[in-house]
Amino acid sequence: MNTKLGRDEMVVDPGELNKHLPSYRLYNTSATSATLFRGIKMISGELKNQIDRIWDAFWSGGISNPLEVIEQITYLLFLRRLDDLHTLEENKSVRLKRPMERRIFPEGKDEEGCPYENMRWSRFKNFQPAEMFTVVDRHVFPFLRTLGGDNSTYAHHMKDARFTIPTPALLAKVVDLLDDIPMENRDTKGDLYEYMLSKIATAGQNGQFRTPRHIIRLMVELTSPQPKDIICDPACGTAGFLVCAGEYLREHYPNILHDEKLKQHFHHGMFHGFDFDNVMLRIGSMNMLLHGVENPDIRYRDSLAQENASDEEAYTLVLANPPFAGSLDYENTAKDLLQIVKTKKTELLFVALFLRLLKPGGRAAVIVPDGVLFGSTKAHKELRRILVEEQKLDAVVSLPGGVFKPYAGVSTANLSQKSMLTQKLPIATIKSVLSVELENPLRRTMTGKLW
């Protein structure tokens, strides 16, 4: 590896990089070149147009908040899924000539006298708009809130579900448009939902926003998820990192669902995502559901809070894009995190959190603002010292400016690291950070002093 001038500077020839990081593949990419990433599937123009028509229907019907649109579509997709599962149970019962083992929609009527059969997607989609609106508003949503639906993680987040479609005409139009979309294929379902999520053009109140899919793919490729990994995103939002990790495993380990133990682990023990925004929890768990993960651990949690401090060394892989801003309850922040970095900056606390969550030998790829690399406060310097001297920091990938627009204009970098089995590196301390700048073309590298 070529070194040049100053003790703390390092210039790297990209052609030589694989000698030093043999397990990594570098991508010559920009914010628009998602097609360079192997495994990213694209939906057809016709399907995109169908989604656009649904979006336009909501807009003209009086719902313009993208998160609310996604939430209402998610509820309706869930109802359609419940009906499909119930139909499968009915067909199984007929074939085996046995009573249904598991009824999602009970026999009989609810407290207000509405037959549960009328709450099925395949039934109410044929009703007149006024009757459909009454059934969905007064019967279907109360039923879902109390029953918990299909036992999936998504069902557990239905207790706060609100039906906000304002008119029978809008409901009927959206149900008709959704009914025309093919949802039989897992890839199609997942890609359709990803396309819908790409329309979220506003950041959440606490700094959440959607990470571009090709950036997620790069981070997943860098960390190479394994079939026995336990993967966590402590600020999961729409669960994009967990979804991409699942797709990577299906692609690279096609037999993972043929082994019963690995299959159980994949559906019930591998994926863990936390957020304290209930809307995001519903959207994220539905995203996982539509990508074929039956019961991921997606739940409400303030990852930085003291009551969650016991979750130590629990995961082998952390993938995250934590919020760079937002409010922080400093008094309730986990004491062990403040011992590592005494600060109110959430980005520093989240990096400390990642170190706590990882098992010895675990890996992480996380997005941080440039301030983490170049900030001059005592907390910034101490965190960088820990990353380099006590952990195995593999690389810092500098992302192009504007990657996260329109959500945020802050410059960012991707940290790739491994948690060390020992407290100290068994080699001489490296006081410069490799920074590969992703531009078109990949043409230069740069470094900065750490402390």
For residue 141, pLDDT over 80 is answered with: yes
- Confidence at residue 447, expressed as pLDDT on a 0 to 100 scale: 38
Tell me what the mean pLDDT of segment 442-449 comes to.
Answer: 36
Task: Report the chain's C-alpha Rg in angstroms.
Answer: 24
Across 74-78, 122-126, 305-309, least confident range: 305-309
- Confidence at residue 35, expressed as pLDDT on a 0 to 100 scale: 27
Tell me what the mean pLDDT of segment 385-401 comes to.
Answer: 82
Tell me what the mean pLDDT of segment 305-320 comes to.
Answer: 83
- Confidence at residue 404, expressed as pLDDT on a 0 to 100 scale: 57
pLDDT, greater one: 62 or 429: 62
What are the C-alpha distances in Å from 347 to residues 201, 373, 389, 432?
A: 22, 11, 20, 21
pLDDT, greater one: 416 or 126: 126
For residue 143, pLDDT over 60 is answered with: yes
pLDDT, greater one: 45 or 122: 122
Q: In this structure, what token pair is assigned to residue 76? A: 């309706």
Cis peptide before 14 (omega within 30 of 0): no
Residue 361 falls in which region: left (phi positive, over 0), alpha (psi -120 to 50) or beta: left
Q: Are 276 and 329 in contact (CB under 8 A)?
A: no
Distance of CA 213 to the CA centre of its chain: 10
pLDDT-derived band at 7 (thresholds 50, 70, 90) equals very low
Burial profile 235-265: b = 16 or more Cβ within 10 angstroms, e = fewer: bbbbbbbbbbbbbbbbeebeebeeeeebeeb
As a whole number of angstroms, the distance between CA 404 and CA 102 comes to 45
Distance of CA 353 to the CA centre of its chain: 18
Which of 332, 358, 128, 321 is CA-nearest to residue 239? 321
For residue 262, pLDDT over 90 is answered with: yes
Q: Are 66 and 199 in contact (CB under 8 A)?
A: yes
SS (H, E, C) the chain: CCCCCCCCCCCCCHHHHHHHCCCCCCCCCCCCCHHHCCCCCCCCHHHHHHHHHHHHHHHHCCCCCHHHHHHHHHHHHHHHHHHHHHHHHHHHHHHHCCCCCCCCCCCCECCCCCEHHHHCHHHHCCCCHHHHHHHHHHHHHHHHHHHCCCCCHHHHCHHHCCCCCCCHHHHHHHHHHHHCCCCCCHHHHHHHHHHHHCCCCCCCCCCCCCCCHHHHHHHHHHHCCCCCCCEEECCCCCCHHHHHHHHHHHHHCCCCCCCHHHHHHHHHCCEEEEECCHHHHHHHHHHHHHCCCCCCEEEECCCCEHHHCCCCCCEEEEEECCCCCCCCCHHHECHHHHHHCCCCCHHHHHHHHHHHHEEEEEEEEEEEECHHHHCCCHHHHHHHHHHHHHCEEEEEEECCCCCCCCCCCCCEEEEEEECCCCCCCCCCCCCECCEEECCCCCCCEECCECC
**Could you tell me which residues are beta bridge partners of residue 414?**
367, 397
Cis peptide before 441 (omega within 30 of 0): yes
- Confidence at residue 135, expressed as pLDDT on a 0 to 100 scale: 94
At 205-221, the pLDDT tens digits run 434 456 777 888 888 99
For residue 294, pLDDT over 60 is answered with: yes
As a whole number of angstroms, the distance between CA 79 and CA 121 comes to 6
Rounded mean pLDDT of the chain? 74
Cα pseudo-dihedral 376, 382, 383, 386, rounded to 10: 140
pTM (2 decimals)?
Answer: 0.72
At 12-42, the pLDDT tens digits run 333 443 443 333 333 333 332 222 233 344 5
Residue 39 falls in which region: left (phi positive, over 0), alpha (psi -120 to 50) or beta: left
